[in-house]
Amino acid sequence: MLGSTIHVVDVGSGSPVLFLHGNPTSSYLWRHAIDRRPPGYRCVAPDMIGMGLSGKPDLAYRLSDHLEYVDALLDSLGLTEVVVVAHDWGVAVALDRLRRFPDQVRAVAFMEGH
């Protein structure tokens, strides 16, 4: 994807919930929430580019880089309407996604955003 790889935890089926972690963590942050998901929900938790098990390409790792990879991931998974749960740096990514695609974000939950 975009010349690198994105590691994704993708569990369950039904309404998609996108979990975006902060800096410098990984999708592992969301393990307990994902394990306790109610029936009817699909939990999608990527490792942001350059973090966790995702690729570490030679990038500046600006907000625009993270946006590009998250957009590509959602497109590749065919996710057009999601609930977004975000922490820390993931909040900035989620806010920008909400600004650009308000019709594709059903709800948001932000924690410790910057």
The domain spanning residue 20 has which CATH number?
A: 3.40.50.1820
Rounded to an integer, the average pLDDT of 24-35 is 97
pLDDT in tens, 39-55: 999 999 999 999 999 99
In a domain, 2, yes or no: no
The answer to whether residue 22 is domain-embedded is yes
Rounded Cα distance between 27 and 40, Å, is 20
Enclosing domain of residue 47: 8-111
Q: 97 — phi, psi (to 5°)?
A: -60, -45
- H runs (alpha helix) in the chain: 31-35, 63-77, 89-100
pLDDT at 112 over 90: no
Number of domains in the chain: 1
